[in-house]
A and B are shown apart, each in its own frame.
Chain A
């Protein structure tokens, strides 16, 4: 049953794509900044996993835990170095595009110097060499682990946003930064934490890109940013839950096209993006986040 496998694969890949896009959407939702270096952070997460596995034999699942503290720190510092300047500009969205495009180029160049140009990966046998059965379909263990981490990240983010004080403050800024400031919320502090979380989520996605898209290279950042951006536009800019839906739609579109019209598989997810933009410009679960 080709359709059943495509359905299962689409959902599992969808959860991975949601993970890859979650940080980008969180940062945009809180700060109205488009982080064009997002894909480069995913790439760095992939290289971190390869290095730790090759040199120290560390399982990629352990790497998930290891990349979180430095990612939070890097994101926190990056916000105060770059994000605050973007926020103070007249047009933060446009300024962020320019600023983070530059960051993306610098990160890619440094990655070439540090890691070389070759594709790096980890053998998928690290998550078992035999597929697992779901509804009678054999599914690679690495897909299940990637999707499971994506789902866990989504749930944890939901808990953070809706059941913690910091999360409530974050949502307050997403709703209206000026009003949040008026009731004592420190937007810079919350934004810095959010930026750190966004970077961390991207780095975690990078670890699983090794198994979902075959490997990592310094030049793949731009492509990953485009994919992540398509996912959050489908789901709705500024809506973390929309990212989940956007990821699933993207994954299903890709896998069903691969099954029934492979040569169009690079086109179909973006065609759906265009259709959704025409029918529902705010995305599937989006709200109006830009003023004209």
Chain B
């Protein structure tokens, strides 16, 4: 169908008008008071109420809701552009862990729900559709936990990573630990996705600088749940360290396979026990997790001196009733996303998406929360919150997560090789 040129120009003008309206923080008629300040700051987000990402998405969502509840109890979030506190309204939709559903719902949030703040669901897979939509509609995406490097590109001004460092720098302490321990035979098995592949490439690259070539380096489908044969093949290469980089749904069968196959390696490392400790220990048993390594994350790394929000101990007390077992990393991440939004609104001189972005770049390197130092690279990727290496060490009441590397962050010596 041909569209007349005048109509095309008209459509373009209308699109530009709509885009500029969204860029002005989506200050819709339904929420704008006569003073120009909105009645509510509308945060739009997705969560996975079911499906494979639910066990990470729901606790992250709980953390965000906790922040909103705290702010609203104090009269709302402070918005510098209007010099007043404004209550927060949450629009949350369930994508059921489906990228197709998520894409539709992200469009709905941005085009129909008049949101001011755009927060995607957990992880790279469900965040990816939001990146394009945010850029198209000039909405700043407060990316919570999607850390894959391909999400961040030089031309995209509309994304800021809030709660985790870019996945490419996650394994830096891990790789340096291997070099420091003079571990020469390393096996790496990783999921065939951006998140895991970038980590594996980083480990391989750092090891290469120390003259080490992995004795096993293989990608497997992200859906892999049986590792017995793969482990047998890995064991045949006689490795001292076995690194499995996957999601929690990979880590559980991998650790089970190590245990049930009777394999013994000097070092076994998986990515998610630090983030989902109770879940994974419950699934693989205490013995299955003992002496294995993982990324150290809050709340097991504590930041009690912070420039915004609650410190780690205060958060554990208020959110988890004083019991760290009731607090997961995803809870911290969701709450921290709220703190980043809070900081953006508190420092942006105008109530626009790019002004919020500018405020966050101004805070970069000068801002600490219970999630660590907030520091952005030029593409909006998080580079401040480094993940030290942690080891699960058996105690009389189960395993305890101890930070073992780098030495500056360590609260315990690594037990290597594992007994």
Partners in one complex: yes
On whether the beta carbons of A124 and B55 are closer than 8 Å, the reply is: no
Residues of B contacting A130 with CB < 8 Å?
262
Q: Which A-chain residue is minimally distant from B58 (CB atoms)?
A: A117
Distance in Å: Cβ of B406 to nearest Cβ of chain A: 31
**Is the CB of A76 closer than 8 A to any CB of chain B?**
no
Residues of B contacting A141 with CB < 8 Å?
260
Residues of A contacting B223 with CB < 8 Å?
223, 266
**Is the CB of A203 closer than 8 A to any CB of chain B?**
no
Residue of A121, A129, A267 with most chain B CB atoms under a 10 A cut-off: A121
**Is the CB of A219 closer than 8 A to any CB of chain B?**
yes
Residues of A contacting B228 with CB < 8 Å?
9, 140, 143
**Is the CB of A182 closer than 8 A to any CB of chain B?**
no
Residues of B contacting A123 with CB < 8 Å?
256, 259, 284-285, 287-288
On whether the beta carbons of A211 and B260 are closer than 8 Å, the reply is: yes
CA distance A112 to B248 in the complex (A): 18
CB within 8 A of B220: which of A5, A215, A255, A258? A258
Count of CB-CB pairs between chains A and B under 8 Å: 132
Residues of B contacting A212 with CB < 8 Å?
226
**Is the CB of A247 closer than 8 A to any CB of chain B?**
no
CA distance A109 to B189 in the complex (A): 33
Residues of B contacting A215 with CB < 8 Å?
225, 252-253, 256, 283
Known: A129-B262, A213-B226, A258-B229. A265 touches B51 (CB 8 A): no
Q: Which A-chain residue is minimally distant from B52 (CB atoms)?
A: A219
**Is the CB of A183 closer than 8 A to any CB of chain B?**
no
On whether the beta carbons of A259 and B229 are closer than 8 Å, the reply is: yes
On whether the beta carbons of A219 and B50 are closer than 8 Å, the reply is: yes
Residues of B contacting A259 with CB < 8 Å?
229, 233
On whether the beta carbons of A218 and B226 are closer than 8 Å, the reply is: no
Distance in Å: Cβ of B144 to nearest Cβ of chain A: 17
On whether the beta carbons of A120 and B219 are closer than 8 Å, the reply is: no
Known: A117-B54, A119-B248, A219-B54. A124 touches B256 (CB 8 A): yes
On whether the beta carbons of A258 and B285 are closer than 8 Å, the reply is: no
Distance in Å: Cβ of B290 to nearest Cβ of chain A: 12
Distance in Å: Cβ of A198 to nearest Cβ of chain B: 24
Contact mask A110-144 → B, CB, 8 Å, 1/0? 00100011111101110101110000011011110
**Is the CB of B75 closer than 8 A to any CB of chain A?**
no
Contact mask B209-249 → A, CB, 8 Å, 1/0? 00000000011110111111110110010000000000011
**Is the CB of A40 closer than 8 A to any CB of chain B?**
no
For window 195-218 of A, CB contacts with B under 8 Å fall at: 211-215, 217-218
For window 249-268 of B, CB contacts with A under 8 Å fall at: 249, 252-254, 256-257, 259-262
Distance in Å: Cβ of A41 to nearest Cβ of chain B: 18
Residues of A contacting B50 with CB < 8 Å?
108-109, 112, 117, 218-219
CA distance A138 to B257 in the complex (A): 12
CA distance A126 to B304 in the complex (A): 42
**Is the CB of B359 closer than 8 A to any CB of chain A?**
no
Count of residues in B whose CB is under 8 Å from the partner chain: 44
CA distance A2 to B252 in the complex (A): 24
CA distance A214 to B249 in the complex (A): 8
Distance in Å: Cβ of A43 to nearest Cβ of chain B: 12
**Is the CB of B129 closer than 8 A to any CB of chain A?**
no
**Is the CB of A285 closer than 8 A to any CB of chain B?**
no
Distance in Å: Cβ of A81 to nearest Cβ of chain B: 24
On whether the beta carbons of A131 and B262 are closer than 8 Å, the reply is: yes
Residue of B54, B226, B257 with most chain A CB atoms under a 10 A cut-off: B226
Distance in Å: Cβ of B100 to nearest Cβ of chain A: 14
Residues of B contacting A262 with CB < 8 Å?
189, 218-220, 230
On whether the beta carbons of A142 and B226 are closer than 8 Å, the reply is: no
Residues of B contacting A263 with CB < 8 Å?
192, 218-221
Residues of A contacting B224 with CB < 8 Å?
265-266
**Is the CB of A6 closer than 8 A to any CB of chain B?**
yes
On whether the beta carbons of B221 and A265 are closer than 8 Å, the reply is: yes
For window 217-269 of A, CB contacts with B under 8 Å fall at: 217-219, 223, 254-255, 258-259, 262-263, 265-267
- Listed by A's residue number, 8 A-B pairs whose Cβ atoms lie within 8 Å are A117-B55, A123-B259, A123-B285, A123-B288, A124-B256, A131-B260, A143-B260, A259-B229
> With A121-B284, A123-B287, A217-B249 given, can you name 6 additional A-B contacts, CB distance below 8 Å?
A2-B236, A117-B48, A120-B283, A124-B259, A214-B226, A223-B223
Using CB atoms and an 8 Å cutoff, list the residues of chain A in contact with chain B. Answer: 2, 5-6, 9, 13, 108-109, 112, 116-121, 123-125, 127, 129-131, 137-138, 140-143, 211-215, 217-219, 223, 254-255, 258-259, 262-263, 265-267
